[in-house]
Amino acid sequence: MNFIEDLIQLIKEKKSVVCMGLDPRLDNKGEIPQFLIEELEEPNKIILEFNKILIENAKDLIPVIKPQIAFYEKYDALDALKETIKFAHKNDLLVILDAKRNDIGSTSEAYAYSMFKNLNADACTINAYLGFDGVKPFLEYNEKGVFILVKTSNPSSAEFQDLFSIRLEEIPNNVIEYKVEGKILKRNYIQLSELIYDWSNKLEKFSNFTNLGVVVGATYPQELRKVREIVKSSFILIPGYGAQGAQAKDIKNGFYENGLGGIVNSSRGIIYAYHQNEKFSQENFGKASRDKIIKMNKKINKEIMN
């Protein structure tokens, strides 16, 4: 396999750039249906059954799923995660594991091993605050995909990511404040995008894309357009569609004219769709998610194919 090649092929086959986020939540009403919780009792069983039904209802409609590992860790359900990934692969779906791991090089190696060998994910998300040392061990799995957080979908993402910054190589380390005159500054997430562009340029391309992607929230459409211009050979994973408030027109900026270049994730909006639509009982949560994906595909394809 090669993540980006396979992704592009599946996008074309299924005519979809939608990614289904598998974020199992067991705590509140409107999350995993009560009948599954009562019937199966144990979190690993509940979550796996929930995911399998979602996958069966989505497999012909989408190229990829994105489990959020935080929830599997919370419920001690890493077995369900492993089985979900296996089941997704059997059903012609790729898996991006959302883990946002980051550490120094020798530790990042261990994380990369967990993501790609133990869990057999096809791609994962990482955080590059530590610079290239911590990114490299993930890229060494040539055939796997890596998505670096650039501009996140949450309200406080501006706090640090939107600072205006500049690289001033000539200043000694011990100088921490510096007065600049007439210099062009760029926001931090733009600086990081430029670093990623450089890293990506050293990697092999498949249909103009490398296996190094980025994450930009659908909740920031203007920022998405700017990042699209910089990371020319990267796919953009675009979360925040649906429950976080972004709509189809907001994600258009992440795509090239040929409809490639992005994938749009929705988690709660798809998997708990039964709760937002009276037409579906909790027993029909799978059909509700299928119905939601069909509508999402239609809306998004209309935007990105124009």
Task: Tell me how far, at minimum, the Cβ of 179 lies from its own copies, in Å.
Answer: 5
Tokens of 220: 């920031």
Structure-token pair, residue 49:
């059954």
Q: Which of 52, 74, 82, 100 is catalytic?
A: 100
* Residue of 41, 16, 51 whose CA lies nearest to 286: 51
By CB under 8 A, residue 103 contacts its own copies = yes
Among 130, 206, 282, 303, binds its own copies (CB under 8 A): 130
Q: Long-range contacts made by residues 272-280, C-beta under 8 angstroms, separation at least 24?
A: 272/30, 272/31, 274/33, 275/29, 275/30, 275/31
Structure tokens at 78: 């890493």
C-alpha distances (whole Å) from 239 to each of 53, 117, 153, 154, 235 are 22, 25, 7, 10, 13
Asked if residues 147 and 125 have their Cβ atoms less than 8 Å apart, the reply is yes
Catalytic residue check, 100? yes
> Shortest Cβ distance from residue 66 to its own copies (Å)?
12
**Residue 184 interacting with its own copies (CB under 8 A):** yes
Kindly tell me which residue out of 38, 41, 173, 257 binds its own copies, with binding defined by CB under 8 A. 173
If the CB atoms of residues 1 and 172 are measured against its own copies, the closer one turns out to be 172
Both structure tokens of 94: 């790729």
Part in contact with its own copies (CB under 8 A); list of ranges 34-42, 182-190, 254-262, 291-299: 182-190
Q: Which is nearer to its own copies, 1 or 176 (CB)?
A: 176
Binding of its own copies at residue 183 (CB under 8 A)?
Answer: yes
User: Which of residues 13, 34, 56, 160 is near its own copies by CB under 8 A?
Assistant: 160
Q: Helix axis angle, 105-113 relative to 132-139, nearest 10°?
A: 30
The correct pick among 7, 17, 123, 190 for binding its own copies (CB under 8 A) is 190
Taking the complex as a whole, the smallest distance from the CB of residue 187 to its own copies amounts, in Å, to 5
What positions carry a catalytic annotation? 100
